[in-house]
Chains A and B, each alone.
Chain A
């Protein structure tokens, strides 16, 4: 069953961090560790942690405008089928386009935004943004490939 119902209703692990870029490395290491606990091979766990780095960086830069001290909640849901991660935050809702990122055009227009989302969407099996009860939510799922 490849949808959110494959995961527990409550997160197996949750952490609240402040919107500071110096915490990104900790988020990467934590996510890699949790992905490894969820039985992902190290290489896959490293990719997943990169996707979460990009998601949290987007929140700090765009939703919070690089303001420090705002809260970001990370929730991790582990299941045999895979790993679901939710990033919850207030601030500005993201302006995420479904349009395919065109790298050549980005170079010409010197527009850097969109690279992080491109990475997230390439690495994860699903990336969805929504607003729930006044909070912005970025939900990402990576399914485990059966051995």
Chain B
């Protein structure tokens, strides 16, 4: 079984990326490829659901950091939801929790995207 799995689906106009397992420098290429695919297909409301993600390093966080400005410039955002305590702490250690939007669950994050769309 692969130590990292990724899949995506559209939920209420939001592209949700489901990450599962161990995301390190060895696996990060697959994450970047999928994120880039969504952006190239003009999906700028992107939600990363990390409910089944149990490990992340700066390699994975760097990918989000590398694309979030481009997505925000196009009126969208990359938000994160449902992270377990350990993964959330890793984001917190580098200060990402102050500048990215984290939600407790997918539904709460989708509602935020809906409010963002109404304001636009």
Any A CB within 8 A of the CB of B26: yes
* The one of B3, B59, B93 that contacts A57, using a Cβ cutoff of 8 Å: B59
In chain B between 74 and 100, which residues have their CB closer than 8 angstroms to a CB of chain A?
Answer: 86, 90, 93-96, 98-99
Looking at B55, B59, B98, which has the most chain A CB atoms within 10 Å of its CB? Answer: B59
* Contact of A119 with B94 at beta-carbon distance under 8 Å, contacts A54-B57, A104-B99, A107-B99 already known: yes
Q: What are 21 A-B pairs with beta-carbon distances under 8 A?
A: A25-B22, A25-B24, A28-B24, A46-B86, A50-B90, A53-B25, A53-B57, A54-B57, A54-B58, A101-B94, A103-B94, A103-B95, A107-B99, A108-B69, A110-B69, A112-B58, A112-B65, A112-B66, A115-B62, A116-B57, A118-B93
- Chain B residue nearest to A61 (CB atoms) is B25
Q: Do most interface residues of chain B lie in helix, strand or loop, or is the interface mixed?
A: helix
Q: Using a Cβ–Cβ cut-off of 8 Å, how many residues does chain B contribute to the interface with A?
A: 24
Any A CB within 8 A of the CB of B68: yes
Q: Using a Cβ–Cβ cut-off of 8 Å, how many residues does chain A contribute to the interface with B?
A: 27
Could you list which residues of chain A lie within 8 angstroms of chain B, going by C-beta atoms? Answer: 21-22, 24-25, 28, 43, 46, 50, 53-54, 57, 60-61, 101, 103-104, 106-108, 110, 112, 115-116, 118-119, 122-123
* The one of A53, A106, A107 that contacts B24, using a Cβ cutoff of 8 Å: A53
Any A CB within 8 A of the CB of B38: no
* The one of B26, B96, B98 that contacts A24, using a Cβ cutoff of 8 Å: B26
Q: Do most interface residues of chain A lie in helix, strand or loop, or is the interface mixed?
A: helix
How many angstroms between the C-alpha atoms of A50 and B57 in the bound complex?
Answer: 7
- Chain B residue nearest to A109 (CB atoms) is B69
- Chain A residue nearest to B63 (CB atoms) is A112
Any A CB within 8 A of the CB of B14: no
**Contacting residues, chain B, for A53 (C-beta < 8 A):** 24-25, 57
Any A CB within 8 A of the CB of B39: no
How many angstroms between the C-alpha atoms of A101 and B96 in the bound complex?
Answer: 12
Measured CB to CB, the closest approach of chain A to B53, in angstroms, equals: 14
**Contacting residues, chain A, for B63 (C-beta < 8 A):** 112
